[in-house]
Structure 1
């Protein structure tokens, strides 16, 4: 009789342990489901933002196409190189008697 009682206690303990394990798995699956739903919502938001940005870029290209520049307009890379503006400060300081 004691053997049967111990076996039943062992089975009951194993069932409780299994129940705890199943609860942990269930909690993990629920968390993954929430994460998946959040990711799907973020993908939708990013898709909408990307579409809006693409539309705004197309509109900006259209607006910029209205501007016409002469054949050659100097740009920053065409400008002659100048010496460092700070290099002339020491000679100005000497000339002004600041040294």
Structure 2
């Protein structure tokens, strides 16, 4: 498999991860993540191939989708934390963005 094909597969796996996150399907998430990691290894194995504009665009798309998946995970974690705080009788603090220096 060449780098381009591996990047396309990474993108497909990221779409599957996002769909699994939206559906709260942990088994599908595990399968998609495992497949994604395998394809990332394939991308890394093609390190000697020159980067084309198409491959840069595919890598950028993969990064964008990975960021989207990260945001879903963070939102889900925040919701779980708030729910656990509520169940424990702790004051639930509203979300507020914090600035990092």
TM range (shorter): 0.3 to 0.5
Q: TM-score, normalised by structure 1?
A: 0.39
The answer to which structure, 1 or 2, has the higher relative contact order (CA under 8 A, 6+ apart) is 2
Structure of higher CA gyration radius: 1
Q: TM-score, normalised by structure 2?
A: 0.38
